[in-house]
Structure 1
């Protein structure tokens, strides 16, 4: 295993479909209903805002991954620029976010499968023992698809993603045939308005639906011509997914029977439609569409779960490369080109997320998974700015225009998403990251160099503490000691201060280790050539 290398098998189409395949998963099955509950007719603004925020973040990582293609780059870039303490803490957030997402997707498969097999769940939608067994069997199946080779994985995903396009498009066309403009005049009151738009970004699964852009970054070391294809794949996947989701949102809202809507309101529909599109089709008498949606309700999240299990293995592989996991998880099988040790660990952790807990249904996990993922993305703009400032010699096949504006905006946007996820999420996640920071500083660092490590990472600890306090005092599940505007201003100021503090705290010249299973980094004076 130790002699294996990650194999460059994925082309632009493969990378783009990895992104789209990740985005068109359980999100399309639930997010329209949930977003309508939060924001009503304003849900379209939430989808547009979510797309803009994720595009800002994605463009920053497009520059990073084009110049430094690394498997699990989200975990590795902070380690390169700020050292082991920052790298370890971001690895913890990646561990939580990556391994949980596959569990979310199999949960969505099981919930829709209740139509056919009621024994899979209780009356509240939570899984029975048989339901847990089904979820674990699905995860093992994903594991086997990933185990053989990255090329086989890519071909399977291309086929499944092609199928996943068909049913949403049919649903869009069909439901628009029942469109009623009067529905758009009925507002949501839970909470509705601008507050509802912001809340729906994380609470309704909108940002969760877009998070699949990261797959192109995670698989950069296995991409053909990553310097060209990774940035293009990020952009193409986001544009395609936004188009599908915005059409699905309005098709769903316009097709809801007006009498049902007036009786229950947008938020009340969540108690009527447990499997939103299938229940909507049933209320319209579209039996043929119910069966089609139920079939896709297995294919879409299953395909996405398959991708995320593979992505989780690359993140754990990257964490091992940083020196924070046992070496076996940073090794690649020579024959298949798959980091099988990391894949085994991904399977075990994904299964753990499906075990009994208070978050046993799709909606219960979304805000926490989204926030944990954004915590993983958050340091990317800081690392990108550090490389711009202190490694100008790196070739940048994709150089982000207006970087001095977009990079800090991406950091601010990430921070806002975390704040909007609410106090109930942040009071759980932030202490974990603070404990990881303190624990690694006390026990994971050698006494020699400890002061330097703390100096390079103090900004991150201050960021967590500041975010925790503002979230507690704010209006998104907090005690509302700070008004909405005051809290938002405080969050933006916190983001700007820690962004620039993070930049000045980095290594004077970040070094990027070149390893046998990764690409050489091309500098301006390098003779290396990348074929496009």
Structure 2
């Protein structure tokens, strides 16, 4: 069992600490050497892991964002989905290799720590907080409209006061808060139980999307695709940047490294399989939707797919069925993305960069209860009261930044640690990770200036938090300080081991 070093205020220079790497060997040892009663339970197989990634990604782009993307790209919205999907898939291949080489729950945060040092790792972790926590709130907000569509069949509706935040004329978004809190309670109960519930929800939402496709193709009109790209390449690129939000979550399986039965083998398979499933379904539904409804008639309503089904079938039960399925689909995204957020914070906590409370695991349930409760309540409050606006759009920048770092991490480990055990290698190396990095950069620069400003403010807050807490509590910096003192006071010994967390070593 790896002995945890009690963090002490480090006296290492700031520049050295920011560049200090944590070796892959140390990352794996720390995750495997957790004291008894604090381990996460290894109960998830490749099927569970694939469903976690599919559950986290599938649904958002089609159920919530499609209506805003169609006016930007026109009938070519399916091309925008492909462009965003290719960008995500290139990074998914890099995620698959990194997950096989560093099979822990830290995802891109741990990969950055092993390759680029503590400073970039913190930035990456803070980006993941934006990617997961804020996107969960943004996704949950979209549930209210589908709930209203479902109960409208019975002549009922939720008043705007209980379905909108204060800035939109409401009081509180009750449906969004309830969905997040229910997901929180389920996650506390156990990872395996949550995985089985998520699997059921994923099968339901795949079913309703295939059902929509089948119905929409009965009213398919090829003339709706003329002209294909009325807004030109710029419109497709802008739509692709926004639709990239739809793929956020495919990396969720990489946050389950400490709960996977065979992470080196199963994580790469789950990541790649989930990307293929999500991309195919997104393109299929987008083509069916535009084929059934001229692109100029798409509204800003989050329930445009329900409108299409109602116009085609004129059957209330169809709208009810799809709306209920859509709520389940959104709940699945909330559940799996919330799961990923708690595991990222758990890993960061054990590195000393966030408070220890986030790293405590219940011996009874094998889950980080306090961590999950704090995150769940915070996200529920955000979804219920806070206007997300540009902060939700900024999640795409945070995600693109994290993906870009993973592509760099693959190149670094291939060059510096080719001896690491692995079960998967990125094809066409180094072309694939280089293209993955460039595609992420391309989509990032196409996002609006206001979104970049909001993202910059978010990162400024992250820097302040690092200096307020992480800088002085870093386990890696404390370990380095202890090793430095031993080296300075002890005689050289032929059995002295190399510092596992010294700068430049990985």
Task: Output aligned runs, 1:230-379, within 5 Å.
Answer: 230-256=267-293, 265=296, 269-271=298-300, 273-284=301-312, 285-359=314-388, 366-379=392-405
Structure 1 vs Structure 2 CA RMSD: 2.8
Task: Output aligned runs, 1:197-216, within 5 Å.
Answer: 197-203=236-242, 206-216=243-253
In structure 1, the residue corresponding to 2:248 is in which secondary structure?
A: helix
The change in CA–CA distance for 1:369 and 1:435 in structure 2 (over 3 A counts) is closer
In structure 1, the residue corresponding to 2:425 is in which secondary structure?
A: coil
The change in CA–CA distance for 1:58 and 1:422 in structure 2 (over 3 A counts) is same
Q: Is residue 266 of structure 2 the alignment partner of residue 229 of structure 1? A: yes
Q: Is this contact kept in 1: 2:38–2:363, CA < 8 A?
A: yes
Q: Is this contact kept in 2: 1:105–1:305, CA < 8 A?
A: yes
CA distance in 1, matches of 2:158, 2:292: 30
Q: Is residue 388 of structure 2 the alignment partner of residue 388 of structure 1? A: no
CA distance in 1, matches of 2:357, 2:378: 16
Task: Output aligned runs, 1:358-437, within 5 Å.
Answer: 358-359=387-388, 366-434=392-460, 436-437=462-463
CA distance in 2, matches of 1:309, 1:443: 24
The CA deviation string for residues 320-373 of structure 1, in whole angstroms up to 9 with x for no partner, is 12211111211222222212232122113312421434436xxx6652222222
The change in CA–CA distance for 1:348 and 1:297 in structure 2 (over 3 A counts) is same
Shift of 1:82: 2.8
In structure 2, the residue corresponding to 1:378 is in which secondary structure?
A: helix
Which residue of 1 is the match for residue 184 of structure 2?
143
Q: Is this contact kept in 2: 1:33–1:270, CA < 8 A?
A: yes
After the TM superposition, which of the residue ranges 160-169 and 273-282 deviates more from structure 2?
273-282
Unaligned runs of 5+ in 1: 454-505, 511-532
In structure 2, the residue corresponding to 1:52 is in which secondary structure?
A: helix
CA distance in 2, matches of 1:439, 1:292: 46
TM-score (norm 1): 0.76
CA distance in 1, matches of 2:159, 2:353: 38
CA distance in 1, matches of 2:41, 2:333: 22
Shift of 1:245: 0.9
Which residue of 2 is the match for residue 85 of structure 1?
119
Q: Is residue 136 of structure 2 the alignment partner of residue 102 of structure 1? A: yes
CA distance in 1, matches of 2:128, 2:460: 15
The change in CA–CA distance for 1:302 and 1:435 in structure 2 (over 3 A counts) is closer
Which residue of 1 is the match for residue 232 of structure 2?
193
Shift of 1:101: 2.1
Which residue of 2 is the match for residue 523 of structure 1?
none
Shift of 1:17: 1.1
The change in CA–CA distance for 1:89 and 1:278 in structure 2 (over 3 A counts) is same
TM-score (norm 2): 0.80
The change in CA–CA distance for 1:288 and 1:351 in structure 2 (over 3 A counts) is closer
Q: Is this contact kept in 2: 1:82–1:507, CA < 8 A?
A: no
The change in CA–CA distance for 1:387 and 1:188 in structure 2 (over 3 A counts) is closer
Shift of 1:121: 2.4
CA distance in 1, matches of 2:179, 2:387: 21
Q: Is this contact kept in 1: 2:361–2:367, CA < 8 A?
A: yes
Shift of 1:405: 1.4
Shift of 1:276: 0.3
Q: Is this contact kept in 1: 2:161–2:170, CA < 8 A?
A: no
In structure 1, the residue corresponding to 2:38 is in which secondary structure?
A: coil
CA distance in 2, matches of 1:274, 1:62: 33
Q: Is residue 52 of structure 2 the alignment partner of residue 18 of structure 1? A: yes
Q: How many residues align?
A: 440
Q: Is this contact kept in 1: 2:162–2:172, CA < 8 A?
A: no
Q: 1:118 aligns with which of 142, 152, 157?
A: 157
Q: Is this contact kept in 2: 1:106–1:135, CA < 8 A?
A: yes
Q: Is this contact kept in 2: 1:37–1:188, CA < 8 A?
A: no
Shift of 1:38: 0.9
The CA deviation string for residues 224-269 of structure 1, in whole angstroms up to 9 with x for no partner, is 211111111111111111111111001111111x5xx6xxx25xx3
The CA deviation string for residues 39-79 of structure 1, in whole angstroms up to 9 with x for no partner, is 11211211111111111111111111111111132222212
The change in CA–CA distance for 1:291 and 1:441 in structure 2 (over 3 A counts) is closer
